[in-house]
Structure formats: structure tokens, C-alpha cells
Structure 1
């Protein structure tokens, strides 16, 4: 795969044989960023889990102390007073059955997170084929199926992110923007790692964290020393 000049130059900042500590990794990721836009900084956590087994699935959420740097659009499925509360709490969109055809037939997906009250999950379930593959289905483990919609919206707007295994048993999550300070990125990353390590399945034998890499959208990956996370 041919890489651009900027990427090649940025890659020179990374020693592929070195496993960096968090502060060094953050510093290199920021220096290696060369895009004209404010790149997202992401963590890629390769685990030793086997997601085909239900007891080794990892899914949860964590509030990043400094947020994600992104304006998150929240859609809430709720009725009556819960719908009113959701609007007051700052939800971008609130609705019920009437949103089904808009999402299913018109392909409307102008939202980043979906929250639903438990009584609305029968309705939301009809959207499983659309929302599921995009990782947008509400889930109690992530705090997005709840009666306390105000709390859910507040946390999401403050920087709550969801983490889950993909088909390769890797967790991919944003931890901020390149414009964040090194301290902010390090804090967010540590908060994420703390949550992921707590979520280690008790049935897992062997190594939990196979590798942890941090990278900006267009930049090279920087590998971290997993021993530091005390797994």
C-alpha cells in the first residue's frame, strides 16, 4: 500500500520496536498528526477474548473526563413525560413509532447515539437490521436503555463513549482530538483503559490485552506497553 509523503514523514517519529508509555505515545501521536482538519485520536485494543462465546463478550460505556471533542447528536425513543424530559435535557431528536419509516425507508441516520426507555424497545427492535450493524442499537449495558433519559443524555453529551468487541475481538474507540492537550488525551485514555480492564471476562484464560495502539485519523499507530496497565 503506497503511503503519502506526510504519512511517511510522520511514521519516522515512531520506533516500531518500542512499546511506549501513555505520555510518550500521546506526545508522538500529536506530533505525527499532519492533516488539515482536527483529527480524532483513537485507541485500538486487541484482546485475547473470543467474542463468539457470550461469556467473553465485552460491552460497556465510560465517561471520558474531557469529552470526545465531538458534538454528539442524540436520538431518544420515548413517550409522554419521558419525551418532554428528553427534550428538556438536550436531546437532538425525540420520537416514537413515527420515526420508524423515516429511518427504515428514507435512510435517515442523522444521529450518533440512540437512547430508549425500556417500554420503547419493542418499537426500536423493528429497526434492528438498520441500527444493529452500525452499532446504534440501545443497550442496557451501555446505559442507553433506561428510564433516566435525562442522566443518559447528560452523560453522552459530556463525553460518554461505548466500547465493544468487533468481529476480530478488537475494541476501537475515540479518546479525543489532536487539538486536546497531552494531559487531556492521557486522562481520557487512562479512563478508557481502566473501564476495559475492569470488564475483563472472568472466564478468560491467558493474556487479556494482546496489544494496545493509539493513532490519529491519518497518522501512524503507536504501540503502548500493556504491562503498565496491570492486567
Structure 2
């Protein structure tokens, strides 16, 4: 079995910032009764060391059938999860699906490779992908042995232990504040975050009424003044 190890990760403070960025973005969608539906690295942008969620063509109301995202950012339901949808499908969009995707993205950020991406779990490499799908369906995850506070968040995301995305967002913000030793130690609670999201919602509604969506959909990002650069973490070594 080939095992891939990462020689260097981004600084802890930056990784926590990224985790918080994504949690806040998805929690804001939740405040609109929406789920992104396709949270994966290809739909996350790096902007001056901050992460921004993009590609909302799979975004739908919470409770809609979940069809877009594949392993390891989506997970097929097993026969013990009938309340979440039909066995063998991805189930219904909501906190469970969004949390799971975020947990797998957090794993990538903090371990340097995707879930089971550091090893071949089958003798035949072509069977690796289907095997990972089976492992995730059966709730079998890689061992978490890095930062215990971050591992706790990943584990809770994978096992659907947050009741709402707002709860995850509060947890991520708290961990970031504690790590950065902010002088303002008063953490924003659920109520504070909800009020913040409400003001952002009203702001977005004003922009929409002003025609922003029409401008943004009028051409490619470069055509309307945006620049895009790709970021890849590639410093890995292989150990037999």
C-alpha cells in the first residue's frame, strides 16, 4: 500500500481562518433556507488568503433531493438513515449534507490530502473510488490524529452532530478567536450570528433589486473585472 505524507501544511491560524470562512458562508445560506449542494475544493476560491464559496448552480432549498456532490464530499445513505432519504441515494439537502462536505474539506485543509487520498484501499487502484464510496456509506472514516480541537470539528461534521450549520459556524469562530488571542474575547453567540446574517440578507436583497445579479451573469469573471488564480498544495512525499 502506498501512503502519501504531507511535508508542510499552511500555518494553523490560516487553516482556522479558512475553516471559519467556509462555515460562515454556508451558515449564511442556511439563514436563507438554502443549501449550497456542491461544496468541494473546485468550488472554493482563494482571495488574498481568504476562502470564498462559489458556483451556486446546485444551490437549492433545504429539503430538496441532494444529487450533485460525489465522494468524499457527498455520502450515500445506508439502510439505517431512512429519515434522511432513500438508502443508496444522497438523501435530502440540509445541515447533514453540508456538514459532511465541510468536514471533508476541513480534512483536506488540515491533513493535506482528501479523505483516503493518502492510500489505496484496494489492491486494484481502479477500485479505489467505489471502495471509498462504500466506506463512507458505512460511516468508516480515516483515523483523526492531528490537532484534537480541529479533529473534533471534523468528526462532528462527519457524524452529523451539529443540529444546524449555525452551530458549526459558532464553533469555528470560537476556535479561531481562541487561537488568535483576540483582545475582544466576547464571542458572538448563535443570536449574534443570526442578527449578522439578517443584516447581510437585507444588504444582498438591496443589491439584487439594484440589478447586481444581471451584471454578474453578463459574462465570464475576467470580462467584468475579476481575476482568478489557481492554488494547489503539492508538496508531498511517498512512503512505501
TM range (shorter): under 0.3
TM-score with structure 1 length normalisation? 0.26
Q: Relative CO higher for 1 or 2, CA cutoff 8 Å, sep ≥ 6? A: 1
